[in-house]
Structure 1
Amino acid sequence: MRRTDAHIWGAARSFEDLARLTADWLEGSLVSHPNGHHDGPDRETGPLAPVLCEANRGGFLTEGSQPGELAELHGQPWHQRAFVSGFAGPGLAGVLGEVARQAGLVTRVYLPAGRPMLDGGAVDVTRWGERINTGVGHFLKPRAVRQIFLSCRADAVQDVVMAWQVTLVDPEWGRDDLLWPTVRRALAAHQELNQKEGAQ
């Protein structure tokens, strides 16, 4: 990792700091991410950066994502399901899960101890020909969470370990216009709920 980026990530003291830095990395203010990405986000993440930044600054610390896509690779069909996964407090995790379910998305929401709120287990998100390449949505154990934020302060990473884990997946291969507006609706609904509670 670039030395200046390593210093910035190493200074993060909380879940909120790590989410803010993830947004900065998505926007290009930081080149490196502790999870081994040292040249910025993947190219396919570029168009998703605005909504992912909103998510991180809204309290949903994103850990992985991809757009929906129907393409061809080496003469075989390459299909992707749009997904986003990450960490959130219980209030936002609940809103994300509920709004996503209402929209027809597949959800995986885990409490910190690993117990799923409803369904659990991985969901297939990439397919090459007839072969499934990638699944997401399984519970990440504390050791795996710490691997995502290598060299970050232990207290900040422990905040992430103790957060709820949320994965949202569009069940339709290739579709890319349902998940992201749904994430924005959930963020707005959570913000509105917080404002109402603050006004009481």
Structure 2
Amino acid sequence: MLLSNYSGYTLEAGIDEAGRGCLAGPVVAAAVILPAGYSHPLLNDSKQLSKKQREQLREVILQDAVCWAVGEASPAEIDEVNILNATYLAMHRAIAGLQLQPEYLLIDGNRFKTALATPYACIVKGDGKYLSIAAASVLAKTHRDDYMCSFTEESEKYGWAQNAGYPTKQHRDAIAKYGATPYHRQSFTLLPKQLPLFK
């Protein structure tokens, strides 16, 4: 049973990301403030849900949330500042996009770096413990999956509709065959034996 609140503050924002381990595409973060005492029987860590369940829950979250926002950091930004700092950047963009100022931030994971005065806590595997983080995980995952499917030619060649840019055999075989795209992260090891892949 996931919990509805950690801090006691009403405007507690759950924050999670998707795409840190991908070879291509942005890292995406979402921030969600749910109503006090909120509950939903299906809401859970997005990795524990089917694609259909995530899509259904996305609509529920968008309707039920007090407010929500999504932020991204691009492949170029990932290459420039590294994936950890790019994740913080995406999280801050999501927080900044909220229509209401959160009183408390609940971050999925074991670390966070910020200049914000807002108090926060890092919760390891928080997307399986707190509803607001689970909601953020669903929004971040579904937003990112849709984005990766929007590049019709690349998505078809590299299998992004299936692998969302993660380093599957299908994806790496396509990189070996076709080379890399501008959407790939140049600072990542795209193939086990890194080659000058960028055109």
TM-score bucket (shorter structure): under 0.3
Higher strand share goes to which structure? 1
**TM-score normalised according to structure 1 size:** 0.24
